[in-house]
Amino acid sequence: MSNEMKRLLLLVLIVSSTAFSQGIEFRKERYAEVLKMAKEQNKLVFIDIYTSWCGPCKMVAPVLEELAAEYDGQIYVYKVNTEQEQELAALFNIRSIPSFLFIPMNDKPQMAMGAMPKSSFKEAIDGVLLKK
């Protein structure tokens, strides 16, 4: 699968997720609206791929909520529940949860797996998404 195709599929993944602080609920059928909004607002995307029964997922959830608030206006922070979106999890070959996708506007998406401390998330957001 080409990198461009992977990027497009990652963008489709966005639509099936639920936002933290932005208060936007995403489902597959809303993808056109979501993509238009992200492009118009020039926001970058951070996606948390989780399940409801995952201990490490529950552990990082409050950290991600804090990050969504701290980076409000700069990035969108979304959640994708693999129990509800099994098709997307399979499509992206998700083998470990939690997994995190960082999708910069004009660069290749990057994935991280496993629970991380807040400082590691901030480093990834600043370095991969915001290019600070």
Q: Which of 10, 38, 54, 75 is catalytic?
A: 54
Cβ partners under 8 Å of residue 68, min gap 6: 19, 20, 21, 22, 77
Instruction: Give CA–CA dist 52/79, Å, rounded.
Output: 11
Instruction: Give CA–CA dist 62/68, Å, rounded.
Output: 10
Is 46 an annotated catalytic residue? Answer: no
Side-chain half-sphere exposure of 52, counting CA atoms within 13 A: 3
Q: Which of 13, 38, 44, 57 is catalytic?
A: 57
Question: Please, which residues bridge with residue 46 across strands?
Answer: 77, 102
Is 85 an annotated catalytic residue? Answer: no
Name the residues annotated as catalytic.
Answer: 54, 57
